[in-house]
Amino acid sequence: MAPIKRNVVARAVIFLTYIVLAGSLLWQATRLFSDFKKKKSALGRLETMTVSVYGNVHQPGAYRVPAGTSTFEILKVAGVRSTSDLTPFNLSAQIEEGQDISVGELKAPVAIKASARLEFFFGELTVISAEGIDRLPQEGMSIDEGDRLLAEEKAQAEFSINVYSRIDMDNFSEIIFDKIGLDQEGRKLCKIFQKSGLCWYKIAYTEKDELMRTLSPLINITVGGRGADYTVDVKYSETTINVSDGLLLVERPDGTDAMNLIAGQSLIVYNDGRPFEVTKLSLEISTTERFTQLARTKADLMMKHMPFNFMFCSPPAVFQLISIQFERSAVYVVAIPAETSVSQFVQGFQTLQEAYLYGGVVFTSTLIERILNSRIPKYAVFDKNDIIRTAASLGGLKVNVDDKASAALGIKNGMQVLKGEDVVEFLRPGLSGTKDSEDRQISTLKSLFSQLQSKNIILTSLLTDQILTNIETNIAASETMKHYNNFLFRKNWQFKSISLPVIQVKSGDKITFEPVLEKSREILFTD
């Protein structure tokens, strides 16, 4: 039985690997190999040039780099700080011999603006905007300031605030997201008004300037330290607070009474003005048990029904979301321009390219989550060496060579296996135009996807190491089985290639692409 299991795992690994490679080889090959194509002198040596980077970077100095290096790449090597001012630069532009790049300093570090999102729910959940308009509840939807949420009988919901904080909402509960990231004396305040019912707050501060407050008719709560784990049960006659971890400052709305509440304590506040009643946290209290069904719903959605979304980056030019939707038997590949504007979600910078320089792929995928209103828990990053090495490991790419490419490359038309520079030339826009290049990318990706469904590939441990070990990714081989089994179980898969809906905006000599949010948040749900 062991050899069979290893073979299935191998096929699972290659399944995800091929999906990643499809994006990398097709959408980035043209850019990488045209921008970094080896220009040789008469002596056959690689042409290089000198550029100086100084100012607010981690490693200022003079650099010797290959011809065709972009501003993005030299800044990545020099090391961008959270206060580096990238606004003056065209990151896609190629540097010139002897160029001086001076990086200024921002008044405040770059940051992602505070956010809230509906993560999971079951039962009847009502979401009403500040304008009194009903919003259709969907997993992954953003929650706006002023939104009012009501969990009806036999309903529960989980919300996220910023990166790590969570709120679980029990049935017959009502909360209002009063403030989300309000700047209050230099701190980003999130304020929740809990009108009724029980809610479980798991608050984790990731930055020193975060501040979380829970307000209720009888008591106001401010989370101290680095965060806290607590429940608030609001009833007409009393409110009960149970603290499992952390420190809370609790006070009456009129400011007449206040105290610190620490882990292991419970507090009851009565509406008749009696003094605070503080006791030891009861061992009988089991919040986890109370939200067992929500946890099961969450696990079920993640394991069976939710799409497998991962972010593929091959900087400086390529950013893609790949969404494998098992319930619909469809694979979506969403191409996202590197110059996509994210200014409405951040402070201190403007584009996706800049986001990658400041915080890498995790920073970038967080912003694309905001644009698409979808979770993107996984990622994979390929640089040009990863692509060269992986393409060689797979023995080349099977592509449909059209007549124009056949004539230009001097090879036969029809299905051919291309390797190395032949792949690059086949996808190069200069071969017969950008439109033809895009058509070739799409057709080749479809071909690769078709091979996934029909080809039985035995992956050796050596090849697995070659492909996965040196790639920056959080996609683990151990988790691929459930995705692969879902993939095999469903037939008639469809492949969909989509471009993010954007509007081109020109400011001076820079061009950015403003995402059309309403349309962007529909593209993963359209047939």
In a domain, 420, yes or no: no
Query: What tokens does 71 get?
Result: 């501003």
Residue 31, pLDDT score: 44
Final residue belonging to a domain, choices 86, 105, 124 = 105
Within this chain, do residues 86 and 127 fall inside the same structural domain, yes or no?
Answer: no
More confident residue, 232 or 206: 232
Percent residues over pLDDT 70 in the chain? 74
Place of tokens 């995800």: 16
In a domain, 478, yes or no: yes
Residues 6+ apart with CB under 8 A from 436: 402, 404, 405, 429
In a domain, 40, yes or no: no
Place of tokens 């060496």: 385
pLDDT of 135 > 80? The answer is yes
Within this chain, do residues 386 and 320 fall inside the same structural domain, yes or no?
Answer: yes
Residue 362, pLDDT score: 87
What Rg, from alpha-carbon coordinates, does the chain have?
A: 27
Final residue belonging to a domain, choices 272, 292, 312 = 292
pLDDT grade for 464, boundaries at 50, 70 and 90: low
pLDDT tens-digit map of 423-451: 667 766 556 665 676 577 666 656 655 65
In a domain, 255, yes or no: yes
Residue 459, pLDDT score: 44
CATH of the domain at 515: 3.30.420.590
pLDDT of 247 > 90? The answer is yes
Residue 417, pLDDT score: 79
Quote the distance between the C-alpha of residue 330 and its chain's center. Answer: 20
Residue 162 and residue 119 in contact, taking contact as beta carbons nearer than 8 Å: no
Within this chain, do residues 364 and 499 fall inside the same structural domain, yes or no?
Answer: yes
Within this chain, do residues 217 and 356 fall inside the same structural domain, yes or no?
Answer: no
Within this chain, do residues 54 and 174 fall inside the same structural domain, yes or no?
Answer: no
Within this chain, do residues 86 and 128 fall inside the same structural domain, yes or no?
Answer: no
pLDDT of 183 > 60? The answer is yes
More confident residue, 464 or 248: 248
Residue 93, pLDDT score: 82
CATH of the domain at 88: 3.10.20
Within this chain, do residues 53 and 69 fall inside the same structural domain, yes or no?
Answer: yes
Residue 67 and residue 98 in contact, taking contact as beta carbons nearer than 8 Å: no
Residue 41, pLDDT score: 40
Final residue belonging to a domain, choices 259, 292, 325 = 292
Domain assignment of residue 65, given as a range: 48-105
* The residue count for the chain: 527
Within this chain, do residues 120 and 163 fall inside the same structural domain, yes or no?
Answer: yes
Within this chain, do residues 97 and 185 fall inside the same structural domain, yes or no?
Answer: no
pLDDT of 132 > 90? The answer is yes
In a domain, 493, yes or no: yes
Residue 140, pLDDT score: 78
Residues 6+ apart with CB under 8 A from 495: 330, 331, 333, 445, 446, 449
In a domain, 432, yes or no: no
Task: List the single range of 144-148, 155-159, 383-387, 435-439 with lowest mean pLDDT.
Answer: 383-387
Within this chain, do residues 68 and 123 fall inside the same structural domain, yes or no?
Answer: no
CATH of the domain at 286: 2.60.120.1440
pLDDT of 13 > 80? The answer is no
In a domain, 195, yes or no: yes
Residue 194, pLDDT score: 96
pLDDT of 7 > 80? The answer is no
pLDDT of 458 > 50? The answer is no
Within this chain, do residues 148 and 235 fall inside the same structural domain, yes or no?
Answer: yes
Percent residues over pLDDT 90 in the chain? 34
Within this chain, do residues 156 and 55 fall inside the same structural domain, yes or no?
Answer: no
Task: List the single range of 43-47, 199-203, 259-263, 370-374 with lowest mean pLDDT.
Answer: 43-47
Rounded Cα distance between 321 and 362, Å, is: 13
Total number of domains constituting the chain:
3
pLDDT tens-digit map of 491-504: 777 878 888 999 99
> Considering the entire predicted model, what is its pTM?
0.70
In a domain, 436, yes or no: no
Rounded Cα distance between 317 and 337, Å, is: 8
